[in-house]
Structure 1
Amino acid sequence: MYKLFSLVLLFISVNVYAQTTIKGIVKNQDNEPIPYCSIGMKNATIGTISDENGNYKLSIPDSLNNEIVFSAIGHTEKKQYKNELIKNGNIVLEYHSTALKAVVISHKKMKEKLIGQKSRPMLTFSKMFNQNVPTIEQGNIFDIEPKTRLKSYSFYVIPSSKYQQITLKLNIYGVENSIPGNTLLSQNIVYTATTTGWQKIDLSPYNLVFNDLKQIAVTLQLVDYKPLDNVDFVFGVSAKKSLSKNLLFRYQSQGKWEKNDGVFITNLEVAYLRHNEDNEQ
């Protein structure tokens, strides 16, 4: 009886955790690989991201057959079911031209300021990044002026982080109903770090100018890393306690955003004009 009971438990266990691993490459219409394409399953925590050569690997429980969405900046997203991907895991995304509203900055000299946390307080905490889950996004919402140009983004890596190198993907979204909405980027922004402490991403080459937006959301994803020899990988961004729920988190690109108490130690360096300043002669 004991052996029969054990076999039944083993059978149940195998079925609960049975999964299919799908491998493939994401390319564009010119047969070029698409790096850092977000791949997520609708209404689930299943997701991954393609590497710098467009390759991806996705493990899906056999009990799930939700739509899997492939989305990359500058391309139209594509939806596939697991059975389709088992037959052919290679994906081709069509180019997508986003009609962005023209932004006109007057000849007036723009003012500059820093939005966010200017220093790291003594008491901080961190929501750690998981090296095995590159789809996780974490970040903040920033209030911006009516006419704003982004110059740089800075964040503070906790001193206890341990790595030889990390590669991060920066995402910028509009804000809808107090959570991130559509992406505001037309190309990937990728940053590599080899140290801890303050990190600064130069945004001036991307010409990120926004008109009539009150808020934007800025998030980070860990897309690659090199560990130290014989040392467990650790990486987190410092945050501090606050009354506002300004810590953004989602498990993967098709997941729901969560907002937690606190604020990450991050800031934006911007140039800006207010409407009344822009209209002054």
Structure 2
Amino acid sequence: MRLSLLLLACSLPLPLLAQSFRGRVLHADSTAAPVPFASIGVKGKAAGTIADAQGRFRFSDSPELVATDSVIVTGVGYRPARLLLEQLRQPGFTIRLKPQPQALREVVVRPRQLRPQVLGRTGTGGVAHWGVSSIVKDSIRRREMLGSEFGTFLTSSYNCYVDNFNVYVQANPFRQVRLRLLFYAVRNGRPAEQLLPADIQLVLAEQQRGWITIDLRPYNLQFSEGQKVVVALQWLDAVGQTPGYQFFDIPALLPSPLHRVYTRNKSQANWKFYPAQPSIYLNVQSWK
């Protein structure tokens, strides 16, 4: 662990078994078109991975896994697929995802009287951190880091349109880092369905640090007064590392009793919640 609060992917228990599960995720309507960076997770367990750009994936066996475990394969904009873990032992196993039909995007006419607002935290300090270590060089162990998520709960006090997303990266020893931006609705105090069908990714190059911004105006994302949402990042890939004990870091205030973050090790693992506030915020335009 980097700290006792947030579990880092490098601190996960890593299996010692040589066996692994593997396969490929393809588009259902094409013979060979991959679904890049699809999420593969074992339901209720910290096991699974992220497919590569060609849809190929592999993750290691462990004592907690059984043949009848359910595996959920998801891709943004696709219907989830469910299968049994034992199926992934078949050579050349292929999973085909069907596109999720999307309603036509409405034309948004913004009110004339808009006021800039901020949802989230613009500070850059904090004793808690989320990220992964750059010192884990073994390829199998590096794969075990893929798919971890980190999110924060936000509540809009007004009707608003979202202009952009911002995250502060305190340290980054990698040549390239790829993250996925996710927005979840909140049901019973937990992240639920995703709010955006678009696969929005952040690609950081050459140890890029500081505030990272993504323009969200093309997605017409709108929150109503009192709406609770989760803004999350999913770890997809990292390339290269520098020597020494260095981490990819997003800082957070701890403790912060009025705020919550969640983490989970894989896309179908159970969530863990903490009283903290990360350096993540949205710029929005509000109206009454």
Match of 1:257 in 2: 271
Identity over aligned residues, as a percent?
24
Cα distance change of structure 1 residues 198 and 246 upon mapping to structure 2, 3 Å threshold: same
Distance 1:33 1:172 in 2: 24
Match of 1:108 in 2: 112
- TM-score normalised to the size of structure 2? 0.80
Deviations for 1:8-60, whole angstroms, at most 9, x for unmatched residues?
xxxxxxxx954631222211123221112111111211111112221111223
Q: Which has the higher helix share?
A: 1
Distance 2:61 2:35 in 1: 22
Give the 3-state SS of the residue equivalent to 2:86 in structure 1: helix
Match of 1:4 in 2: none
1:238 to 251, 255, 275: 251
| Count of paired positions | 257
Conservation of the 8 A alpha-carbon contact between 1:137 and 1:221: yes
Gaps of 5+ in 1: 1-15
Match of 2:9 in 1: none
Conservation of the 8 A alpha-carbon contact between 1:156 and 1:196: yes
Cα distance change of structure 1 residues 101 and 93 upon mapping to structure 2, 3 Å threshold: same
The structure with the larger Rg is 1
Conservation of the 8 A alpha-carbon contact between 1:173 and 1:217: yes
Matched, 1:190 2:208: no
- TM-score normalised to the size of structure 1? 0.81
Conservation of the 8 A alpha-carbon contact between 2:152 and 2:278: yes
Cα distance change of structure 1 residues 110 and 220 upon mapping to structure 2, 3 Å threshold: same
Match of 2:145 in 1: 133
What code does the residue aligned with 2:165 have?
Y
Gaps of 5+ in 2: 1-14, 134-141
Give the 3-state SS of the residue equivalent to 1:61 in structure 2: coil
**For 1:1-281, what aligned pairs fall within 5 Å after superposition?**
18=17, 20-31=19-30, 32-61=33-62, 63-65=65-67, 66-87=69-90, 88-98=92-102, 105=109, 107-121=111-125, 123-129=126-132, 132-145=144-157, 147-159=159-171, 161-194=172-205, 195-211=208-224, 214-230=227-243, 234-241=247-254, 242-273=256-287, 277=288
Kindly state the Cα deviation for residue 68 of structure 1 after the two structures are TM-superposed: 0.5
Kindly state the Cα deviation for residue 246 of structure 1 after the two structures are TM-superposed: 0.8
Conservation of the 8 A alpha-carbon contact between 1:227 and 1:233: no
Kindly state the Cα deviation for residue 67 of structure 1 after the two structures are TM-superposed: 0.7
Cα distance change of structure 1 residues 52 and 210 upon mapping to structure 2, 3 Å threshold: farther
Conservation of the 8 A alpha-carbon contact between 1:41 and 1:69: yes
